[in-house]
Amino acid sequence: MASPDPALLSLNTATVRERWNLAQMIDGCARHGIRGISPWRDKLDELGAQEAARRIRAAGLTVTGLCRGGMFPARTQAARRAAIAENLKAIDDAAILDARCLVLVVGGLPAGSRDLAGAREQVKEGIAAILPHARACRVPLAIEPLHPMYAADRACVNTLWQALDLCDALDPKRSGALGVALDAYHVWWDPELEAQIRRAGRTRLLAYHICDWLVPTTDLLLDRGMMGDGVIDLKRIRAWVERAGYRGFHEVEIFSVRNWWQRDPDEVLATIRERHRRCS
């Protein structure tokens, strides 16, 4: 399979978050010929959305997504309303950045709850509540199905199938306002993956994230691998995504407390470029 276009590479700021601030990340992307960037909101707050947007534009970068909205389920009505308010602000930030999407990590079980179906219902209500503002701001919302090991504490949307069902329920006309962020790390194991990528199609595929699954994985959250160091068949998944019509960026998001977060970010970015070409 042909190597991917290096112009489609994007850096998710989580990958170098321990050693660089947002300004350094923007400069780093420009220096390494990386054309996309996807900031997390903690990094955005360092500069403010307006100034960040100015610098990102000046560097010629595309914002492939803003991380993150979501986290809807909560024990009380008041807390759910607060989550929605926070999401509306995230949509505003995404609009300022001209982000391709706002990534939604939807949230897990409220503290003390075992009601997974109820949490999923709260997610649906939360997205329904913010969708009109997202449409008005022309910020597509990208539901990110997270690996089932995060169902309790991070996201109770755990398969692409489930995410697409949510999209169909809330945006039946496939308007472009609602879709998914597909992260290979979260979905590579899914027997239904190929079929559901086809179902998603170009309209629903708003972002594509890559990294690798290490064997063994020593931490549920912070032990993701660089492309090529694990077992995910990234070329095969990219082929499915491209066949479905996706032409967007390939965003590299690596949580790696013991390896990549310890290294010189310039080394990390050079490695990303090389592995993107060779292993994804």
Q: Tell me which residues touch a copy of itself (CB under 8 A).
A: 109, 113-116, 120, 147-149, 151-153, 156, 158-159, 161-162, 188-191, 213, 215-218, 220, 230-233, 236
CB proximity list for 142: less than 8 A, separation 6 or greater: 65, 101, 102, 103, 104, 179, 180, 181, 206, 207
Distance separating alpha carbons of residues 87 and 129, to the nearest angstrom: 10
Q: What is the closest distance, in whole angstroms, from the C-beta atom of residue 49 to a copy of itself in the complex?
A: 32
CB proximity list for 100: less than 8 A, separation 6 or greater: 62, 63, 64, 65, 140, 206, 207, 248, 249
CB proximity list for 186: less than 8 A, separation 6 or greater: 144, 145, 146, 147, 158
* Residue whose CB is less far from a copy of itself, 137 or 152: 152
* Residue whose CB is less far from a copy of itself, 55 or 235: 235
* Residue whose CB is less far from a copy of itself, 146 or 178: 146
Q: What is the closest distance, in whole angstroms, from the C-beta atom of residue 263 to a copy of itself in the complex?
A: 24
Which amino acid does the sequence have at 171? D
DSSP strands (E only) in 19-88: 36-38, 62-63, 66-70
**Please, are residues 36 and 249 in contact by the beta-carbon 8 Å criterion?**
yes
Q: What is the closest distance, in whole angstroms, from the C-beta atom of residue 61 to a copy of itself in the complex?
A: 31
Copy the structure tokens of residue 87: 């999401």
* Residue whose CB is less far from a copy of itself, 5 or 115: 115
Q: What is the closest distance, in whole angstroms, from the C-beta atom of residue 143 to a copy of itself in the complex?
A: 13
* Residue whose CB is less far from a copy of itself, 153 or 266: 153
Q: What is the closest distance, in whole angstroms, from the C-beta atom of residue 233 to a copy of itself in the complex?
A: 4
* Residue whose CB is less far from a copy of itself, 30 or 257: 257
Q: What secondary structure letter does DSSP report for 70?
A: E
End-to-end CA distance of the chain, in Å?
10
> Which H/E stretch holds residue 152?
none
* Residue whose CB is less far from a copy of itself, 149 or 270: 149
Backbone angles phi, psi at 141, to 5 degrees: -95, 130
Q: What is the closest distance, in whole angstroms, from the C-beta atom of residue 216 to a copy of itself in the complex?
A: 7
CB proximity list for 247: less than 8 A, separation 6 or greater: 202
Q: What is the closest distance, in whole angstroms, from the C-beta atom of residue 116 to a copy of itself in the complex?
A: 7
